[in-house]
Each structure stands twice: as structure tokens, then as C-alpha cells.
Amino acid sequence: MTARKLQFAGTLFDGKSARKHPVDIALTPREIILKKPGHEPIHWFYGNLRWAAKTTSPFHIEHGDINNECLETLVVEDPDFYESVSKIAPDNFSDTGRQTEINWKIYAAGILILIFSAYVFIKTVPSFLADRMVDKIPVEWEVTLGQSILKMLPLEQKPDQQVLAVLQETVDLLERSVEGKQPYDLQVYIWPGKTVNALALPGGPIVVFEGLLNQAESPEELAGVIAHEIQHILLRHSTRGILRNMAQSMLLALFIGDVNAVMEGVANLAGELETLGLSRDMEAEADQKGMELILTANIDPRGMMRIFEKLMEVEPENSPKEKTTETDMELFSYFSTHPSSQSRLAKLEKQMEPHKNKTWAPLFPNLNWNEIKPEN
């Protein structure tokens, strides 16, 4: 049996400079004593020490508490040092110092802060960037984006030409009332089925659902919805919404290093097609500018009110509970995805107020819309 070695030579780094201080080391059960030539001995209690796992050679010991900015480090080259110090030090101090527990808590808190920051970053930065970028995007890009989405939609391949003509004429009429020259080619498309909805795609396409055509009882009502959608396009709302979504999933992919997240983002976007990531503010803006457009075009604004009211009536929240099935939700998604309808209606009403006593000519005097509109 050999006597345990308790004296070693090491090098001390004070944490303030790169200078090496050669020291003599004495191990005791309570502390490690360091002796610098010509100085008082330094006492390091085990409670203030940290060291890495046994594989480390040369052996490093850090001294100081976490709040202490400059940790002192003792480096010992002697391979016997580890065994000696781990035998003589208190039991609970075996592999890594007592400070490890505190470290673990600090790391955990750090990771939580990191996750939280990443979350905030992913939630806010894409919107911020998208809003900055959207004005710099060329119209051609928007058109390409809108057309590629359009190609994925199950659109009516043989739309009723008469219905389509009414819709397109309404669009053209509203377009002529837009102030200044606008760069988009506004084209109407019809989505078959009972869903009551309408979409504005980036760069010009306006998609009106058959269910909405059926709900509308006059061309003025259709004009109200179309004016709203036209404003989404002119104000680049859809483009911005899509950019936000894309940027969000791309950032997410960067953070978690997973390309699938990007694909998931694209899939989510398809699910959110009804809203295209439009925010409440965008909806309110499209309402207001839409109503302005209706008034400038000399179209009876009560049509816009009527269709919005009607869409509200069929809104799932207002219908009896047992009738609110998932299909209902799907059918009347226009207002369920266009939130806070009551306040929106009130705002439109207020905007209409100054024109209350005006007499309005019918939009298409020789057309009986209810005769040609699709049946549900």
C-alpha cells in the first residue's frame, strides 16, 4: 500500500490576466492550500470549487462563486492528482463540484429564457420584416405568387358566363373608381360548393365562392364583398399575410434546423387559405377602404351592409348550439375568419351615415340577379 500523495505542483490563473502563477498544492480533507513563493498561503474550501469529469487531463479546478466574474483556475498536470483529490475531498464532492447543482439551475433558466426569446422572435420578427419588405416586392412577384396559389385551388372550370360577367363588370366598375393608376389585373374566379366566402390572392385574383353568390340577393351586395376583397389586393394584405407566414416557418426551421417545419408552414398556409394570414387591422382597413370605393363608384352602400349583416346572421356564434356543426363552420367561414363583426358593421354604418338621404340608381338596372344566381 502506497501512501496517498498530498503534495502537488500546479499553475494558477487569476482570471484577470493570462499570467501563470506556479504554486505548490497541499490537499487536506477541508481545503486545498496553495502556496505561491513569497506569499501567504491561499485556502480554497471545497464548497467554492468546481472541477470537470475525470477524463480531463491536465486537471482543471475552478474557484469562486457564479457571481464572481473572474474565476480562478488551477491547472495540475500530475495524473495522480485527480485520484488524490477525489479521495480526500468530502464524499458529496466526488465527480463535479457542489456548484454543479446551482449551475444546472442556471442553465435550465438560461434555456427557458432562450426558448422564450426564440418564441417572441419568431412571433414578432417575421411580421416586422414582412411589413418592411412588402412595399419593396415587385408587382410581378405578387402576380407569380397569386397565380401559383390560384393553380392549386379547385376552381369552377366552366363557370356560368352570365354570373361571371356580372362579377367581372362589378370589379371593373369598382376599379375605375380607384384613385390613381393601380398595377393589378383584377380577375374574378368562382369556387364551387356551398361555402360562403371570398378570397383575395396576391397580385389580382379575386375568388368568390358559389355559396356567397347564392347568399347575395343583389349585385350591390356582391359589390360590397368585392370592394372589400379588391382593397385586400391593392393594400397588399394577402401578400403581407403570406410573407408573415412564410418568414415565420423559415425562422422556425432555422431555429430547430428542420426543413419539415417549412413544409409544415406551407401546409398551414393552405389551411389558412380563407384568411391568408390577414389580421384584424387588415380586415378593418379593407372594410373602410372598401366602403369608400363603393361610395366613390356611386353604388348603393346598403348592399354592402346587407350582405355583411346576412353573413353575420349565419355566423355560427349566432345560430342555436345544436345547429352549429362543423359543416356550418365551414359553410359560413367568411365571418368566422373575419372577426369582430358587430363592431365592423357599426363602423360601416357610421361611414354610410352622411350619404343616408341620397337616392341610388341600381347597379345593373336590367338584370335580375336572383334569376341567374347559382342555386344552393
Residues that bind Zn ion (CB under 5 A): 283, 286
Closest distance of CB 368 from Zn ion, Å: 28
367: CB partners within 8 A, 6+ apart: 166, 219
Smallest separation (angstroms) from Zn ion to the CB of 225? 9
Secondary structure of residue 220 in the 3-state scheme: helix
Name which of 155 and 235 has its Cβ closer to Zn ion: 235
Burial per residue of 316-334, b for 16 or more beta-carbon CB atoms within 10 angstroms, e otherwise: beeeeeeeeeeeeebbbbb
Torsion angle, alpha carbons of 284, 289, 291, 296, to 10: 170
Least distance (Å) from Zn ion to the CB of residue 158? 27
For 34-74, give the DSSP string. Answer: EE-TTSPPEEEEGGGEEE--TT-SSEEEEES-TT-SS-EEE
Pick the closer one to Zn ion by CB: 63 or 228.
228
Of 221 and 283, nearer to Zn ion (C-beta) is 283
Which is closer to Zn ion, CB of 126 or CB of 290?
290
**Could you identify the residue written with the cell 417572441?**
120
Judged by CB, which is closer to Zn ion: 289, or 373? 289
Query: CB atoms < 10 A from the CB of 8, how many?
Result: 20
Task: Give least dist CB 273 to Zn ion, A.
Answer: 13
**Contact 213/207 with Cβ under 8 angstroms?**
no
Helix (H, G, I), strand (E, B) or coil at 282: helix
Helix residue ranges, H only, 217-340 = 219-234, 237-256, 259-271, 280-296, 302-313, 326-331, 333-336
Q: How far is the CB of 254 from Zn ion (least distance, A)?
A: 31
- Is 17 exposed, middle or buried, given 0-12, 13-18 or 19+ CB atoms closer than 10 A? exposed
Least distance in angstroms from the C-beta of 339 to Zn ion: 10
Nearer Cβ to Zn ion (201/252): 201
Q: How far apart are the C-alpha atoms of 348 and 62, rounded to whole Å?
A: 70
Tell me the closest approach of the beta carbon of residue 65 to Zn ion, in angstroms: 58
Q: Which helix (H) or strand (E) holds 170?
A: helix 161-176
Nearer of residues 72 and 283 to Zn ion, judged by Cβ = 283
